[in-house]
C-alpha cells in the first residue's frame, strides 16, 4: 500500500512540474508589439480591386 501511494504522489509531482513548465513557456511570453512590427507584404485597396476586376476566375 505504501509503494502505491509513493507512485501516485510521484506521478502527481511530475504532472505538476510538467504543467508548471508548460504554463511558464506557453503563457508567460511577452506580448507582440504590433505598432512597431514590419508588415510581411503591403497591398493597396485599388490594387486588390484592379486584380479582381481584371481576372475574376483567378480570384475565385
In whole angstroms, give the CA distance from residue 38 to residue 41: 9
Q: Average of pLDDT values for 54-60? A: 74
Please state, for a pLDDT cut of 90, what percent of the chain lies above it. 37
Is residue 59 very low, low, confident or very high in pLDDT (cuts 50, 70, 90)?
low
Is residue 30 very low, low, confident or very high in pLDDT (cuts 50, 70, 90)?
confident
Element (H, E) at 17: helix 2-27
Domain ranges of the chain: 2-59
State the average pLDDT for the chain.
Answer: 88
Is residue 19 very low, low, confident or very high in pLDDT (cuts 50, 70, 90)?
very high
- The C-alpha cell at 31 is 506580448
Amino acid at each position: 500500500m505504501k509503494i502505491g501511494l509513493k507512485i501516485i504522489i510521484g506521478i502527481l509531482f511530475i504532472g505538476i512540474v510538467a504543467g508548471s513548465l508548460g504554463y511558464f513557456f506557453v503563457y508567460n511570453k511577452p506580448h507582440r508589439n504590433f505598432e512597431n512590427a514590419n508588415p510581411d507584404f503591403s497591398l493597396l485597396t485599388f490594387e486588390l480591386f484592379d486584380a479582381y476586376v481584371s481576372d475574376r476566375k483567378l480570384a475565385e
